[in-house]
Amino acid sequence: MLKKEALSVIDEKQQIFTDVSDKIWEYAELSLLEYQSMELYCKVLAENGFQVEKNLCGVPTAFSGSFGSGRPVIGILGEFDALSGLSQKCGVAQRDELVAGGNGHGCGHNMLGAGSLAAAFAVKAYLEKSGKSGTVIFFGCPGEEGGAGKAFMARDRSWEKLDAALSWHPEDHNKVTTGSCISCIQVEYKFTGIAAHAAGNPEAGRSALDAVELMNIGVQFLREHMADSARIHYAITDAGGNSPNVVQPTAQVLYMVRDHKVREAMRLQERVDKIAEAAAMMTETKLTRRFIDGTANTVSNARLEKLL
């Protein structure tokens, strides 16, 4: 009976969750830039009896909202960042941008956060109605589309006080996920060369764009020698300019290396690094490598999965 009463709060307050989801959809803020989204969640949590902590782990858009005292301590994780170039009007089945060229929610993070918020409300209602000991903490996890918000929380031991943590992700059917998310390493490679007129004195130039292209070609040949579980993605983030008759002095590419096991991803990443170094050597350009982030593969919890 108590469980049903607690769950009924989701129906009673469904407009809150729907409004949050709709607003997050409209905000469509990118990884680690979710300032409006963060403020909205913190406002709703505070107005409904949760103790809010902002700037969690030194990340401006990370936050938590807690209720209750004592054990068990249950964490519920919410995400809310968007993806670039996926702006879309809500409720429209065909492509129709809300903002031309703008950001959008490609995999339902607007619902992910709002659904987790609803779960936190239900647990709060259960604690209030039962009078039992226990604490529920809603964690606002920014930067999940490549920013690794949860990694900062793990680094700063935010999870150590928890007895269990729960999350979810929108799907086309309701299920308990028993699989594991693969590990991911992101590294940015910037090549710096020498500008020159490509027709007048090409021999004086050292093309950074050539280095990026040679690196990409090298990685394509590497794919034959990767494990089936591995994935490599890349995006050229700076092609060096718009003038084809100028040798590009700078160019930049962002790589994402993935595998089911983080140690295998790290080994593969080392090979990608060597290819980048070789590309710089061939083109006589300078290579600057910048580590963006890395996340380990998730480990499934069979006991908790069975309970759910």
- The enclosing domain of 264 has a CATH number of 3.30.70.360
Of 62, 72, 74, nearest in space to 159 by CA: 74
- Domain contains 307: no
Q: Are residues 154 and 190 in the same domain?
A: no
- Domain contains 300: no
**So what's the pLDDT on residue 147?**
60
Q: Are residues 188 and 148 in the same domain?
A: no
pLDDT at 7 over 90: no
Q: Are residues 66 and 169 in the same domain?
A: yes
For residue 36 the two structure tokens come to 């409006």
Quick one: pLDDT band at residue 146, thresholds 50, 70, 90?
low
**Which letter does DSSP use for residue 64 in this model?**
E
Distance set, CA 98 to CA 23, 24, 79, 86 (Å): 13, 13, 21, 9
Q: Are residues 194 and 168 in the same domain?
A: no
Q: Are residues 254 and 219 in the same domain?
A: yes
Q: Are residues 150 and 16 in the same domain?
A: yes
Q: Are residues 162 and 198 in the same domain?
A: no
ω before 244 within 30° of 0 (cis)?
no
**So what's the pLDDT on residue 36?**
98
Distance set, CA 5 to CA 13, 47, 88, 120, 242 (Å): 13, 21, 37, 14, 62
pLDDT at 134 over 80: yes
For residue 304 the two structure tokens come to 């908790």
pLDDT at 11 over 80: yes
- Domain contains 308: no
Q: Which of 138, 153, 175 is the last residue of a domain?
A: 175
- The enclosing domain of 70 has a CATH number of 3.40.630.10
Q: Are residues 194 and 161 in the same domain?
A: no
- The percentage of residues in the chain with a pLDDT greater than 70, rounded to a whole number, is 99
Q: Are residues 133 and 212 in the same domain?
A: no
- Domain contains 233: yes
Q: Are residues 202 and 157 in the same domain?
A: no
**So what's the pLDDT on residue 154?**
86
Q: Pick the more confident residue, 148 or 287.
A: 287
Alpha helices in the chain (DSSP H): 2-12, 14-27, 35-47, 109-130, 149-155, 208-222, 262-283, 302-307
Q: What is the pLDDT of residues 179-189, one digit of tens each?
A: 778 899 999 99
- Domain contains 148: yes
Q: Which of 142, 175, 208 is the last residue of a domain?
A: 175
Phi, psi of 197 (to 5 degrees): -75, 125
- Residues with Cβ < 8 Å from 82, sequence gap 6 or more? 27, 28, 29, 30, 103, 104, 105, 106, 109, 110, 145
* Domain of residue 145, residue span: 2-175
Q: What is the pLDDT of residues 235-272, one digit of tens each?
A: 999 999 999 999 999 999 999 999 999 999 999 999 99
**Total count of domains within the chain:** 2
Arithmetic mean of pLDDT over the chain: 92
For residue 127 the two structure tokens come to 């604690």
Q: Are residues 9 and 158 in the same domain?
A: yes
- Domain contains 56: yes
Count, in order, helices (H) and strands (E) of the chain.
Answer: 8, 9
pLDDT at 91 over 70: yes
Could you tell me how far CA 140 lies from the centroid of its own chain? 12
| Averaged pLDDT, 152-177 | 87
- Domain contains 302: no
Q: Are residues 164 and 28 in the same domain?
A: yes
Q: Which of 175, 191, 209 is the last residue of a domain?
A: 175
**So what's the pLDDT on residue 1?**
58
- Domain contains 27: yes
Alpha helices in 86-232 (DSSP H): 109-130, 149-155, 208-222
- Residues with Cβ < 8 Å from 223, sequence gap 6 or more? 232
